A and B are shown apart, each in its own frame.
Chain A
Amino acid sequence: MSGTVDVSPGQRERLPFEPLKQTNSVINEPPYVRWLLIATAVGFLALFLLLPLLSVFVEALRKGFGPYFESFADPETLAAIQLTVLAAAIAVPLNLVFGLCAAWAITKFEFRGKQFLITLIDLPFSVSPVVAGLIFVLIFGAQGWAQPFVGDHVGKVLFATPGIVLATVFVTFPFIARELIPLMQEQGTEDEQAALSLGATGWQTFTRVTLPNIKWALLYGVLLCNARAMGEFGAVSVVSGHIRGLTNTMPLHIEILYNEYQFVSAFAVASLLALLALVTLALKSFLEWRYADQLAATRRH
C-alpha cells in the first residue's frame, strides 16, 4: 500500500489570498451586543464545563501529589482500572468489526430491510442505558430465559465480567457504524466497482480501496467508542453487582469511593477518566483539523 496523501484538498483549495476582513459590515452588531453575547457564551462554558473539570483536578490534588498517587496503589482501584481497560479492549474491537460490517452492508448493497437495520443500529442511542442493563438482567438473571443454558455451562454472566462486556458492547455499538455510514454513502461504490473490474477480489477491494478511503473516519469512530466504553455508568451499573475488586469498573468505583467519603481517591480516579476525555478530545480535534475532508460527510466544508 502506498503512503498517505500529503496534500489534503481542504488546504489545496484555499485561495491564494485571504479576503479582506470587513469590520464595519452591515451585518455586524454594535460592539456592546457582541461583547455581551461572547461573554454569555464563554461564561456558560466556564461555569458548566471548565469549572467542573478543574474542580476534579483540584479535589484530586487537594492533599498534594503524594496521596493522589497513593490512591492508585489501592488494589481495588487497580482492579477497577484493569476491568475498565479489559471491557473497552473487548468492546471496541468487537464494535469495530460490527460497525465496519454494518456500514459496509448498508452503504454498498441494496437489500430488503435496510431501513430496519439502520434503525436497529440507532437503538442503543435511543434506549436509556439503565434499560439496556435491565435487558441483560432479564436475559441472564436468575429468572432469565438464558440462565438454564448459560448459567450451568459457561458460568455466570450477570454480576461478572461477561455481563459488563456485553453491556458495554451494547451501549457503544452505534458509534463506529454511525461515523462510517455518512462518509461511505457519500463515497458511493464507484471506486469498488473500478477495483473489481480491474480484477481485484472482494477482500483486495476492501483492504486496498475501501479501508484506505475510510481510515480516518474509522479512527475517529474508535476514539469516540473507546471514550464511551470506558465512561459508561448506567448499563454497567445494573449488570455489575458492584463486587469490589471483581466487577467494579472505574465509574462505579468512583461512586463507591465518593460515598465512603474517600474524596481524594474518588477524584483521583475521576481525574483519570477526565484525562481520557481530554486526550480523546485533543486527538479528535487534531483529526478534524488535519483530515477534515476525509471525515464524515456531514462535517464537510
Chain B
Amino acid sequence: MDIQIRGVQKHYGSFHALRGIDLDIASGELLALLGPSGSGKTTLLRAIAGLEPLDGGQVRFGDIDATALTVQQRQVGFVFQQYALFKHMTVFDNIAFGLTVRPKKQRPDTATINKRVRELLELVQLGGLEQRYPAQLSGGQKQRVALARALAIEPRVLLLDEPFGALDAKVRKDLRRWLRQLHRETGYTTIFVTHDQEEALELADRVVVMNRGVIEQVGTTDQVWDAPATPFVYDFLGTPNVLPARVERGALLLNGATATLATAGAEPEGPVNVYTRPNELRIADDGDAAALSGTVVEIQRTGLLLRLGVQLLSSGDTIEIELPNPDPAVQRWQLGDAIRVRPARYSLFPRKATTAEVETGFDPTRTVAEHRERSRN
C-alpha cells in the first residue's frame, strides 16, 4: 500500500519534533528513515502507526485517510526497538495475539490460526520454538518473533523502529541480509528507522535523511551518497573535509588565491565551503596549479586503505585524505613529507562571510574542526 504524508507537525511541549513533513512512499518500497537522535525519525514512524497524535497534517494509506483512524484500525505492523514481546506468553501465543484479539465475527478459527502461526514461524526460521517464552530466546530470535507477530495481522505497512539497534554486529549483519530477502519475498511496504548510515544504505531502496524535524534529503542510496543535498547530509554520511573558499567570476578560489578549480557553474558568487570526502582527494602532480600544498602529519594504515593527515600550508588546517593502499614501490610517505593534493570530487555550499574575510579575503580563524562542529549543531 502506498503512503502519502502531508505537512505533518508534532510538538512535545516547546520542542518542535516534526516541522511539516511531506513524503511519498511507493507500494512495496523498503524505505529508511535516517538521522541522529532527536531528528524526529522515530516520531515520524510512530505518527504513521498512529501511536503519536499529530498537531497537524495528514497521513494517507492509499485512498484512506489514516489520520482519522485509531491505532487498531490502521492495521500496521509495528516492531518496537526492544521488541515489546509479551513476556508471559509463549512464542506461539505472541504471534497469534493479533488474530485472537479480533472481534468474534472476524476471528479465524483455531485451526486457521494454528496454520498461520506455523507458516510465519517457518518464514522467520523459528520452527520448533513455538512453546518457548521470550526470556528463553536470543536477541535475534526475539527480533524475528516480533516481526512474525507484526506480520500475522497482514499489515498495510510494516514499521520497524531501530530494528537492529539492540543486537551485536554479527547477528545484525545476518539479520539485515535476511530482512532484505524477506522483504523481497513478502513485498510489504516497509519503513525502518536507523541512525546507522551503513545500515540504511545497505538495506533500503530509498533513504530519507532527517535532521531537527525536517527532511534534509530523500533519494536512492546512490543519490544521497553521491550527491548530498545539504552540508548536514554530507556530514552525516561520513566525515568530509570542509575547506573555506570563495567563488569569484565563476572560478573557485581555495584558500585565498593559491588554488583555482573549475566550478560546476551554478554556484552563487561569494564565500562558500568546499565539502570533499577523504577518498575524493587525489595526490596532485607538481605542475597542477589547482593543488593544495601541505605536509604529512599523520599516517594510518588500515587494511586496504592508507589514511594521511595533511596540514595545509595556506591555512594550517589539517585535512584527511584516504588513498587505496599503494604499492610500496611507488610511494612511501613519511611524516613531514611535502605533499600536494586536489579534490577530484567536491560540493559547494554557501557560507556566511566573516568580517576578517571581508577585509582580507581569507578567514584563518576557522578550522576544519570548527566547521564540522558548526554544521553538526
Contacts and interface: CB of A to CB of B under 8 A. Distances in A.
Contact of B71 (A4, A196, A209, A212): A196
Interface string A192-205: 01111111110010
A83 B75 CA distance: 53
Interface in A156-215: 190-191, 193-201, 204, 208-209, 212-213
Given A5-B87, A190-B82, A193-B84, A198 B136 contact: no
Contacts of A7: 133, 135-136
Contacts of A2: 88-90, 93
Interface stretch (B3-11, B14-22, B94-102, B260-268): B94-102
A199 B98 contact: yes
Contacts of A204: 101
A12 B133 CA distance: 13
A144 interface: no
Contacts of B80: 190, 193-194
Contact of A208 (B76, B101, B150): B101
Contacts of A213: 87-88
B245 interface: no
A interface, how many residues as a size bin?
A: 20 to 34
Nearest to B81: A190
Given A2-B89, A2-B90, A5-B135, A198 B84 contact: no
A9 interface: yes
Interface in B11-57: 49-51
B237 interface: no
Nearest to B161: A190
Contacts of B133: 5-7
B236 interface: no
Given A7-B133, A199-B98, A199-B153, A194 B88 contact: no
Nearest to B49: A197
A208 B89 CA distance: 10
B51 A193 contact: yes
Interface string B80-116: 1010111111100100011001100000000000000
A148 to B, nearest CB: 46
Contacts of B135: 5, 7, 9, 12
A196 B90 CA distance: 19
B246 interface: no
Contacts of A4: 88
A197 B75 CA distance: 7
Interface in B123-182: 133, 135-136, 149-150, 152-153
Interface string B330-341: 000000000000
A214 B150 CA distance: 24
A107 to B, nearest CB: 16
Contacts of B50: 197
A198 B153 contact: yes
Contacts of B275: none
Contacts of B360: none
Given A9-B135, A208-B101, A197 B71 contact: yes
Nearest to A199: B72
Contact of A209 (B77, B86, B102): B86
A119 B202 CA distance: 51
Nearest to A6: B133
Given A5-B133, A7-B133, A190-B80, A198 B97 contact: yes
Interface in A1-47: 2, 4-7, 9, 12
A197 B89 CA distance: 17
Contact of B75 (A9, A12, A193, A199): A199
Nearest to A8: B135
B72 A200 contact: yes
B101 A191 contact: no
B78 interface: yes
B189 to A, nearest CB: 16
A208 B100 CA distance: 11
Given A197-B49, A198-B98, A199-B98, A5 B88 contact: yes
Contacts of A191: 84, 86
Q: Which 4 A-B pairs have the closest CB atoms?
A: A198-B98, A190-B84, A194-B84, A200-B101
6 contacts: A2-B89, A5-B135, A196-B51, A199-B98, A199-B153, A200-B98
